[in-house]
Amino acid sequence: MSKILSLLVLITVLSSCMKGESVDLVIHNARVHTMEDGNPIFDAIAIKDGKIVEVGPERQILNKYRADEFIDAQKKDVYPGFTDAHGHILSYAKQQLSVDLVGCKSYDEMIVRVEKYKSKKNPKFIIGRGWDQSLWKENEMPNNKKLSEIFPNIPVCLFRIDGHALLANDYLIKQSNVIEKFANDPELNQGGYFFNDSTGGFTGIMVDNAMNPVLDILPSFPDKELETAILEIQAELYGYGITGVHEAGLEYEEVQLLKKLIDADKLGLNIYAMLAPTPKNIAFAKKNGVYTHENLLIRSFKVYGDGALGSRGAFLKQVYSDHDHHHGYLTTSMKRMNEIADLCTKIDYQMNTHAIGDSTNRVLLELYERTFAQNPDHRWRIEHAQIVDPADFKLFASAGVFPSVQPTHAVSDQRWAESRIGAHRMEGAYAYRTLLEQFGMLAIGTDFPVELTDPFLTIHAAVQRKNAENFPSTGFLPKEQITLEECIKGMTIWAAYAAFQENELGTLEKGKDATLVMFVNPVKSNAVFVPNFAHTTWIKGKKVYSVE
Ligand SMILES: [Zn+2]
């Protein structure tokens, strides 16, 4: 009897196979990289209702499924959609609406770009972003003398590439009252400083918290312009196969803007938003806890532990090698960081803290260790983990701390990092291999707009340890290379873990979201950089980008 029954079952199964199960899309003749353990590669994938139904060999999938659309991939590489695990969509949008100073080769070029912007847009307040004095011949922090001469009657605020320093003209300095405020507010000068020239004169450069009085009076851009810029950024990301961003620090109003775009069905990126710990955001988090709104997930705070190495705001255990008596500083007090940690523990949020200097990394590793005792799977992140004392690496393992790194920072900073910290501290700098060995995973991003959004530059930096010009030829600190597969894991499955989204995203397997990308060129890492782009990008089964 049971034999007859199983025969009947077999016949039913076979006949349904022959008819073909109906799905929405089959991509075949592809190289489908599942990114599961061992990274098995299959020929074909079947998708229905935004989910992956099956991944398997060519014949198996083609025989089994009837689809509305078949795509012959002609052996192209297919991956889970990439995630940028640390980016700033809103800052990038603002950068696009400001004077673009990225890549300026001199102070004079910067002035010319500001003049052009002024005559074209006739603004009431000039904001520029992206200068980097290390690209200039003199390689010295600028002063505002010429800027104030040329623009005597309008406020001008020019942010350094890292966003941790700004150059203001005299008009803005006066308008913001920054000098007086700085003198009277110990919090500003504990976590920031005025940059003076060799004669002790103020240059007009403010670093980290010293920028706050200026930031307070910065006009905001109209929502309409920001929305347009955000959608342009989304299109750029889709063109690289990026389907998700861990947005590293948002104000309450910025979250509302993203929600508005999601509700209008315009913003399809998977957004894992870290909240800036402002009173409004804290009230929101206490009220809502872990919060999902369509493709937006909120369950973390982004905290700034210190500044940046380029503007000497990173907090170091020993003084800077190119600046006597200066250690940098914490930009958020220990007391405040402890309060945020307690709140995160209470409402099941993740704490993601920017830490560049070895001292900041150390104090945070100790702070996170407490959380580990209560929850070994807390996944609290250190963003950047740039300079770590070699004696402290083991704490990433013992405290369960998730390193979130941006390999393009390594190859951008290589020109001057050693002058800031000296050869002996380079041992624990940009040490992605060492960090990976400690924690077992890395979340990998770019920190755009500090770096470009291109994930293939990230791969080149992580695997070859070279910049886009293939410099240096032997790789920067080459013993810290990671493999191509590890780097892609950092942008797929490990990034998903870093955002508690591994059940929906990060690998191509049955039941997960059909969020994937097919690339134009084979995905490889070569000694010489070869650009690559998405051919087609899908989010939850919906085509959001195609070269055709
Ligand atoms: Zn950042």
313 CA → ligand 1 middle, Å: 14
> How is 41-100 classified by DSSP, letter by letter?
EESEEEEETTEEEEEE-HHHHHHHEEEEEEEE-TT-EEEEPEEEEEE-HHHHHHHHHSEE
- The rounded Å distance from CA 148 to ligand 1 centre is 30
Question: Do 230 and 204 reside in the same domain of the chain?
Answer: no
Question: With 90 as the cut, is the pLDDT of residue 325 above it?
Answer: no
- Output the CA 247–ligand 1 centroid distance in Å: 9
CB 337 within 8 A of CB 303: yes
pLDDT at 378: 96
What's 211's domain CATH number?
3.10.310.70
Prior bond of 472 cis (ω within 30°): yes
State whether 30 and 146 are in the same domain: no
pLDDT value of residue 14:
47
**What is the rounded CA–CA span in Å between residue 211 and residue 181?**
11
Ligand 1 centre to CA of 165 (Å) is 14
Peptide bond connecting 390 to the previous residue in cis, omega within 30 degrees of 0: no
Torsion-angle region of residue 296: left (phi > 0), alpha (psi -120 to 50) or beta? beta
Final residue belonging to a domain, choices 161, 195, 217? 217
Q: List the one residue out of 51, 99, 103, 43 whose CA is nearest residue 75.
A: 43
pLDDT at 294 over 90: yes
Question: Domain of 49: which CATH number?
Answer: 2.30.40.10
Kindly give the distance from the C-alpha atom of residue 545 to the centroid of ligand 1, in angstroms, as a whole number: 26
Specify the amino acid at residue 246: H
**199 and 255 share a domain?**
no
The structure tokens 């398997």 sit at 56
* Distance from C-alpha of 94 to C-alpha of 31, rounded to nearest angstrom: 38
**13 Cα–ligand 1 center, Å:** 53
Give, as residue ranges, everything with CB less than 5 Å from ion ligand 1. 248, 447
107: Cβ–Cβ under 8 A, 6 or more apart, which residues?
A: 136, 142, 146
Instruction: Give me the number of domains the chain comprises.
Output: 3
Per residue in 198-217, pLDDT tens? 888 999 999 999 999 999 99
pLDDT at 6: 57
Query: Do residues 226 and 348 share a domain?
Result: yes
What CATH number has the domain bearing residue 479?
3.20.20.140
531 and 448 in one domain? yes
Mean pLDDT confidence for 502-516: 98
- Does 93 reside within a domain? no
Residue 110 lies in a domain: no
Report CA Rg, the chain: 25
Residue 139 banded pLDDT, cuts 50, 70, 90: confident
Residues 107 and 203: their CA atoms lie apart, in Å, by: 14
Q: From ligand 1's centre to the CA of 457, what distance in Å?
A: 17
Q: State whether residue 515 is helix, strand or coil.
A: coil
CA 83 – ligand 1 centroid, Å: 15
Residue 166 pLDDT exceeds 70:
yes
pLDDT the model gives residue 4: 55
Distance from Cα 447 to the centre of ligand 1, integer Å: 5
Mean pLDDT computed over 186-193: 81
Given 187, 217, 247, the domain boundary residue is: 217
Q: How far apart are CA 371 and CA 375, in angstroms?
A: 6
Distance, in Å, from the CA atom of 235 to the CA atom of 548, rounded to the nearest integer, reads 14
353 CA to centre of own chain: 13
In the reported structure, the alpha carbon of residue 11 is separated from the centroid of ligand 1 by a whole-number distance in angstroms of 58
pTM of the prediction?
A: 0.93
Give me the pLDDT at residue 11, please: 46
Report CA(282)–ligand 1 centroid distance (Å): 20
Would residue 506 count as lying in a domain?
A: yes
Last residue of a domain, one of 53, 75, 97: 75
Residue 119 lies in a domain: no
Q: How far is the CA of 445 from the centre of ligand 1 (A)?
A: 9
- pLDDT per residue over 390-431, tens digit each? 999 999 999 999 999 999 999 999 999 999 999 999 999 999
Ligand 1 centre from 221 Cα, in Å?
20
**Average pLDDT value for residue range 34-47:** 95
Is the residue at 101 inside a domain? Answer: no
For the segment 424-441, what is each residue's pLDDT rounded down to a tens digit?
A: 999 999 999 999 999 999
pLDDT bin (cut points 50, 70, 90) of residue 512 is very high
Q: Are residues 271 and 401 in the same domain?
A: yes
Token reading at 58: 């060519």
Mean pLDDT within 254-277: 98
Cα of 404 from ligand 1 centre, angstroms: 10
Does pLDDT of 109 surpass 70?
A: yes
Residue 12's pLDDT band, with cuts at 50, 70 and 90, is very low
Instruction: For the chain, give the percent of residues with pLDDT over 90.
Output: 89
Centre of ligand 1 to C-alpha 21, Å, is: 46
Residue 384 Cα to ligand 1 middle (Å): 8
* Residue 123: C-alpha distances to residues 98, 117, 120, 143, 430 (Å): 10, 9, 9, 23, 40
Quote the ligand 1 centre to 120 CA distance (angstroms): 30
- Cα–Cα distance for residue pair 48/54, rounded to 1 Å: 10
Residue 274 shares a structural domain with residue 310: yes
Q: 173 burial class (0-12, 13-18, 19+ CB within 10 angstroms)?
A: buried
Q: Kindly state the tokens that stand for 110.
A: 């910067």
Ligand 1 centre distance from Cα of residue 527 (Å): 28
Q: Report CA(353)–ligand 1 centroid distance (Å).
A: 10
What is the mean predicted confidence (pLDDT) over 463-472?
A: 97
Residue 325: inside a domain, yes or no? yes
CA separation for the pair 90, 198 (Å, rounded): 36
Which 3 state secondary structure label does DSSP give 238? Answer: helix
- Tell me the helices (H) and strands (E) count for the chain, helix number first: 21, 25
Residue 310 CA to ligand 1 centre (angstroms) = 14
Bigger pLDDT: 3 vs 209:
209
Domain that holds residue 146: 125-217
> Ligand 1 mean position to 86 CA, how many Å?
6
Predicted confidence (pLDDT) at residue 541 exceeds the cutoff of 60:
yes
CA of 151 to the centre of ligand 1 (A): 30
Q: Is the pLDDT of residue 16 over 70?
A: no
Taking the CA atoms of 392, 395, 396 and 401 in sequence, report the sign of the dihedral they define: negative
The rounded Å distance from CA 395 to ligand 1 centre is 23
Measured in Å, residue 28 CA sits from the centre of ligand 1 at: 38
CB-CB neighbours of 371 under 10 Å: 21
Q: In which region does residue 236 sit, left (phi positive, over 0), alpha (psi from -120 to 50) or beta (all else)? A: alpha
The rounded Å distance from CA 178 to ligand 1 centre is: 25
Residues 41 and 141 in one domain: no
Planar angle of CA 409, 413, 414, nearest 5 degrees: 115
Q: Are residues 210 and 63 in the same domain?
A: no
* C-alpha of residue 43 to centroid of ligand 1, in Å: 38
229 with 163, same domain: the answer is: no
**CA 90 to ligand 1 centroid distance, Å:** 11
Instruction: Give 248 Cα–ligand 1 centroid separation in angstroms.
Output: 6
Q: Please tell me which residue, 71 or 9, carries the higher pLDDT value.
A: 71
Pure H helices in 351-442 = 358-374, 394-398, 407-413, 417-425, 432-439
The pLDDT score that the predictor gives to residue 13 is: 46
pLDDT higher than 80, residue 229? yes
Same domain, 210 and 226: no
Element (H, E) at 539: strand 534-539
SS (H, E, C) 316-373: CCCCECCECCCCCCECCCHHHHHHHHHHHHHHCCEEEEEECCHHHHHHHHHHHHHHHH
Q: Average per-residue pLDDT in the chain?
A: 94
| Residue 448 CA, ligand 1 centroid: distance in Å | 7
Q: How remote is the CA of residue 87 from the centroid of ligand 1, in Å?
A: 6
Tens digits of per-residue pLDDT, 380-391? 999 999 999 999
Inter-residue contact 107 to 235 (CB < 8 Å) = no
Tell me, yes or no, whether 71 lies in a domain: yes
Q: Is 468 exposed, middle or buried (0-12, 13-18, 19+ CB in 10 A)?
A: middle
Q: Quote the ligand 1 centre to 292 CA distance (angstroms).
A: 23
Classify residue 384: in a domain, yes or no: yes
159 Cα to the center of ligand 1, angstroms: 14
Asked if residue 173 and residue 246 are part of one domain, the reply reads no
